[in-house]
Amino acid sequence: MTTIAKGANVVTLINVFTVAPDNQYKLATLLIEATERTMRHLPGFVSANIHQSFDGTKVINYAQWKTREDFQAMQQNPQAKPHLQAAAALASFEPILCEVVDAISTTE
Amino acid sequence: MTTIAKGANVVTLINVFTVAPDNQYKLATLLIEATERTMRHLPGFVSANIHQSFDGTKVINYAQWKTREDFQAMQQNPQAKPHLQAAAALASFEPILCEVVDAISTTE
């Protein structure tokens, strides 16, 4: 289970992929396999949370890494690159590196 | 604290706002106040999680509602509309309604 909290010691990467609806399931599966095989074993990995939009045109990865440097090291990692390239062949994407400024929930 | 899990009984709204860096803090504050004053009291609200990008150009709301109908009812709610209009005056935005297809974390 993934948690979102203010002041947690993570950086958040929100990556919005725009995809042809015929490729949505394929891209989501690719991201899940990339996470299971490679990303989760890299230093600083905290979580990856793969979402599919109901309209078929987006896949979103809400990911957490311990530090910005861990995320940047993953981008240069030779084991990660083929996964990143396979995703780029299926979709355009816009990675946003960010921090939580507030988390308001009914369970707090 | 907010949780992300596969099979959780929520719909997820990921809303990416693009903003002038001078307005990033103002928009984040506006979204937090809208959540505290109005959104959290509406039927079906589960969570709102406000993020700021490190580059200054984005504010992202990762929100959860119990059902799609609850989310749609909020969009039509007269108490919510002024908040939505105030956000629209500061930024362009792209709301994506989606579901979690996998949540992979080091704590599972």
Q: pLDDT (tens digit, 9 = 90+) per residue, A9-49?
A: 999 999 999 999 999 999 999 999 999 999 999 999 999 99
Residue A19 in contact with residue A57, Cβ under 8 Å?
A: yes
Tell me what the mean pLDDT of segment B31-59 comes to. 97
Q: In chain A, which residue ranges form alpha helices assigned H by DSSP?
A: 24-37, 68-76, 81-90
Best B62, B70, B93, B97 residue to mutate vs chain A (most A CBs within 10 Å) = B62
Residue B46 banded pLDDT, cuts 50, 70, 90: very high
Rounded CA gap, A93 and A74, in Å? 17
CB–CB contact A50 B96 (8 Å): no
Closest residue, chain B, to A97 (C-alpha): B53
Tell me what the mean pLDDT of segment B94-108 comes to. 90
Residue A77 banded pLDDT, cuts 50, 70, 90: very high
CB–CB contact A58 B5 (8 Å): no
pLDDT attached to residue A1? 85
Instruction: Give percent of chain A above pLDDT 70.
Output: 98
Chain A hits for B46, CB-CB cut-off 8 Å, are: 105-106
Q: pLDDT averaged over chain A?
A: 95
Query: Would the CA dihedral through B95, B101, B104, B105 be positive or negative?
Result: positive
Residue A50 banded pLDDT, cuts 50, 70, 90: very high
Query: What is the value of pTM for the model shown?
Result: 0.96
pLDDT attached to residue B1? 85
Nearest to B103 by CA among A80, A11, A46: A46
